[in-house]
């Protein structure tokens, strides 16, 4: 077990995880700007893209590239700086670091090395879309991008088909219609919502069934999409044909206490506990 007190005094630097706007620059928090101004170095997914953000907020902090292609080479260098007492802010092109973006490897390495990791709250496309979707927001599951290979995608969707919560995906406009069609084939034509260009001028939500949205996407897929699919429909359990006393006794024989067995059988059959108690003890209701 380890314990981190984020804002206690440390002999090493701190790794800050700083969200950036997903479209609207006004979503940049005051704290995020302050941290980017105060750290010694910014580890950015794309330094050219991040430089535009830094210029807008008049932030002069030096950058270093940190993306999926140089992760393993950069981590020892960044850890050495952190160990020497330098603080680093890690940012992705948009939204939260590590959420479908680089970051998780550096976080894991920093924790292993005893470096404090401090997250800042901020913009996130998945939860921003979810709260306006009209689909059940709790519980939800975030998946991100599906595999591109057809067989792997089908396997992933099959594993998700019975999830009893809203599932959130990211998808590019080039694969959107095909992905929605594949989802309908595996999930059934259940309710879903698409969100695109979140926080921007052309923000848009499309709500319908998976097949309706697949048809819509043929001519309207522009921009990056958040795809939200409603929970799997509840499957009604067929009533047991085994008499209630036998169901109770089977649970008792398996080690359950009589009262617990009666309670479980009542729940399984959608009955009142007293009704099962009476049946088991051959009492008239």
Give me the CATH topology for the region 15-123.
Cobalt-precorrin-4 Transmethylase; domain 1 (3.40.1010)
Question: In the numeric block, which tokens belong to residue 215?
Answer: 């048809």
State phi, psi for 91 to the nearest 5 degrees: -130, 150
Encode pLDDT of 205-221 as tens digits: 999 999 999 999 999 88
pLDDT digits (tens, 9 = 90+) for 123-150: 999 999 999 999 999 999 999 999 999 9
pLDDT band, residue 253 (cuts 50/70/90): confident
Per the DSSP assignment, residues forming a β-bridge with 141 are 167
Assigned token pair, 255: 């080690």
Percentage of residues in the chain with pLDDT exceeding 90? 76
**E strand or H helix that includes residue 63:** strand 63-65
CB 226 within 8 A of CB 169: yes
Full-model pTM = 0.80
- 256 pLDDT higher than 60: yes
Which residues are 207's β-sheet partners?
193
Nearest to 197 by CA among 224, 215, 174, 220: 224
Q: Show the tokens assigned to 14.
A: 């701190």
Residue 284 — pLDDT band, cuts 50, 70, 90? low
Predicted pLDDT of residue 206:
97
CA-based nearest residue to 18, from 35, 37, 41, 30: 35
Strands laid side by side in the 88-91 sheet:
63-65, 41-44, 88-91, 15-17, 117-119
Sequence ranges of the domains in the chain: 15-123, 126-229, 244-280
Give the integer Cα–Cα distance in Å for 57 and 60. Answer: 9
Beta bridge partners of 86: none
Assigned CATH class of 126-229: alpha beta
Residue 110's closest CA among 8, 16, 7?
A: 16
CA distance 275 to 40: 70
pLDDT band at residue 237 using 50, 70 and 90 as cut-offs: low
| DSSP assignment of 230-277 | PPPPPPPPPPP-S-HHHHHHHHHHTT--HHHHHHHHHHHHT--HHHHH
């Amino acid at each position: 077990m380890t314990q981190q007190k984020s804002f206690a005094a440390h002999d090493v630097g701190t790794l800050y995880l700083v969200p950036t706007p997903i479209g609207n620059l006004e979503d940049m928090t005051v704290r995020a700007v302050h941290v980017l101004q105060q750290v010694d170095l910014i580890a950015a997914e794309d330094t050219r893209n991040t430089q535009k953000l830094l210029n807008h907020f008049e932030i002069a902090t030096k950058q270093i590239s940190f993306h999926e292609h140089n992760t393993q080479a950069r981590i020892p260098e960044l850890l050495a700086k952190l160990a020497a007492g330098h603080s680093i802010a890690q940012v992705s092109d948009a939204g939260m670091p590590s959420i479908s973006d680089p970051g998780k490897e550096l976080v894991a390495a920093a924790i292993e090395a005893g470096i404090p990791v401090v997250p800042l709250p901020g913009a996130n496309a998945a939860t921003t879309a979810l709260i306006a979707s009209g689909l059940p927001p709790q519980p939800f599951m975030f998946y991100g991008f599906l595999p591109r290979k057809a067989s792997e995608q089908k396997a992933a969707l099959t594993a998700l088909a019975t999830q009893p919560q809203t599932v959130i995906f990211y998808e590019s406009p080039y694969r959107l219609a095909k992905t929605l069609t594949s989802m309908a084939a595996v999930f059934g034509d259940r309710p879903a919502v698409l969100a695109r260009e979140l926080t921007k001028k052309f923000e848009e939500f499309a709500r319908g069934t998976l097949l309706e949205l697949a048809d819509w996407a043929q001519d309207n897929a522009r921009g990056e999409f958040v795809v939200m699919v409603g929970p799997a429909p509840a499957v009604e359990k067929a009533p047991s044909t085994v008499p209630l006393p036998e169901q109770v006794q089977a649970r008792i024989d398996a080690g359950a206490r009589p009262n617990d067995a009666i309670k479980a059988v009542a729940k399984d059959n959608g009955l009142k506990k007293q009704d099962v108690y009476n049946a088991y003890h051959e009492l008239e209701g």
